[in-house]
């Protein structure tokens, strides 16, 4: 299951919009309500399986956020 599918399945009642923005240069960032939750550029890695969900649920601290 893709990250987008996982987020929509888990938060379907809370998500009004999910936007995927393709970029160049290796960026992969996840924001929630304007707050950066995960940044591949800062963390220098992709998130582990389930990691973004744990951050969204408040079970784990944001990664790569200032």
pLDDT 10s digits, 19-62: 777 777 778 888 888 888 898 888 999 899 999 999 988 899 99
> Is the whole model's pTM more than 0.95, yes or no?
no
What is the residue extent of each domain of the chain?
A: 3-56
30 burial (CB, 10 Å; 0-12 / 13-18 / 19+) is buried
Distance, CA of 61 to CA of 56 (rounded, Å): 9
CATH number of 3-56: 3.40.30.10
């Amino acid at each position: 299951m893709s990250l987008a599918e996982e987020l929509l399945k888990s938060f379907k009642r809370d998500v009004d919009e999910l936007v995927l923005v393709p970029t160049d240069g290796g960026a992969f960032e996840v924001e929630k309500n304007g707050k950066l939750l995960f940044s591949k550029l800062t963390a220098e890695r992709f998130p582990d399986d389930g990691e973004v969900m744990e951050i969204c649920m408040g079970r784990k601290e944001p990664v790569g956020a200032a």
